[in-house]
Amino acid sequence: MIRTEGLVKQFGSVRALDGLSLNVEKGVVYGFLGPNGAGKTTTMRILSGLARPDQGRAWILDREIGKAGADLRFSIGVLPEEPAFYGWMTAREYLRDFIAPMFGLDKAQAARNTDEFLGRVGLAEAGKRRIAGFSRGMRQRLGLAQALIHRPEVLLLDEPVSALDPAGRKEVLELIESLRGDTTILLSTHILADVERVCDVIGIISKGKLIIQERREDLLARYALPLYEVEVDGNDNGELEAWLEKARQLPYVSNVSMSNSTARLLVNNVELVQRDLLSSLMSENIPIRSFEMVRPSLEDVFLRLTGSGERTDEGS
């Protein structure tokens, strides 16, 4: 449904895309991940026809972007990272009277689709309000309704939940899940937990190149190193932090992090961890509440593959 071959895009001295090739199969929710500046938004702009690559080619529905007729837009829905609207219009007017006719919907169908998708994105009661008074989260929801109004076969979503509160994120993710199988979705985001929840296939991009593309469970099984969590008693975490600094230097510890009273250690040798780390903790007289191996997350895999969690000569 979506395919690119060797996409290159240069902005002055910065190469945003460096030979990017990817393939998105029909009906999947494809999570498109990468650090800031990796080239995700540039890719989305090329796929949506808003930018042209310096080299390479891209296809949607087996029709090459830039050469296909204008009617290809009838099959694609696009939500940019920061959607723009006419603030003087109401949400209902914007969808029914402006967006829907652009996709060939007659008045009756435009009205039905407008009511349906305003409801599905949680804006039914706000439909008569002027968009100028919408919060950023409400604008994001309206942008998603705009992308869906003509029931496209392919949906390009650039950070669709970044501006939403937890309740709004949950609702939008459930909507995306409900579209699985009927619509092919390319979802660009930096929120790894959301990708792990809704995406079937994950592609990770770094420095303009695709470094891995796998089904979610295969990716976790193949690249997730063992992960240990250490939880301690008490509010003073100074002793645990001091111990973690020592743990960073161990050759079998790939990455460490800490949140509140819990430390997480990504390791590459379970036997040494079980033999040495626990005894090391006890020798420091640190009050341990729990010490256990847990299932690694997509975040752990992402940090490893993009190099963000790798050790350096300085041990960071």
What average pLDDT score do residues 168-177 get?
Answer: 86
Domain boundaries, the chain: 2-219, 225-294
Q: Are 161 and 173 a contacting pair, CB within 8 Å?
A: yes
Residue 102 — very low, low, confident or very high, per pLDDT cuts 50/70/90?
very high
Examine the pLDDT at 68 and tell me if it is beyond 70. Answer: no
Interhelix angle 136-148/166-178, rounded to 10 degrees, is 10
Strand segments (E) across the chain: 2-11, 14-24, 29-33, 55-60, 63-64, 76-79, 154-158, 184-188, 201-206, 209-215, 227-232, 253-259, 262-267, 288-294
Examine the pLDDT at 311 and tell me if it is beyond 80. Answer: no
Examine the pLDDT at 285 and tell me if it is beyond 80. Answer: no
Structure confidence at residue 312 (pLDDT): 28
Class of domain 225-294: alpha beta
What average pLDDT score do residues 95-113 get?
Answer: 95
Structure confidence at residue 87 (pLDDT): 94
High-pLDDT (> 70) share of the chain, %: 92
Examine the pLDDT at 308 and tell me if it is beyond 60. Answer: no
Q: What is the pLDDT of residues 119-130, one digit of tens each?
A: 989 999 999 999
Report the DSSP pairing between strands 227-232 and 209-215.
unpaired
> Would you identify the CATH topology of the domain 2-219?
Rossmann fold (3.40.50)
Q: Are 148 and 194 a contacting pair, CB within 8 Å?
A: no
Report the DSSP pairing between strands 201-206 and 29-33.
parallel
Structure confidence at residue 278 (pLDDT): 74
Alpha-carbon torsion angle 229, 234, 236, 241, nearest 10: -20
Structure confidence at residue 293 (pLDDT): 74
pTM above 0.85, yes or no: no
Q: Which residues contact 105 (CB under 8 A, 6 or more apart)?
A: 113, 149, 150
- CA dihedral (141, 171, 258, 210) positive or negative: negative
Examine the pLDDT at 234 and tell me if it is beyond 70. Answer: no
Report the DSSP pairing between strands 29-33 and 209-215.
unpaired
Average pLDDT, the chain: 84
Structure confidence at residue 142 (pLDDT): 94
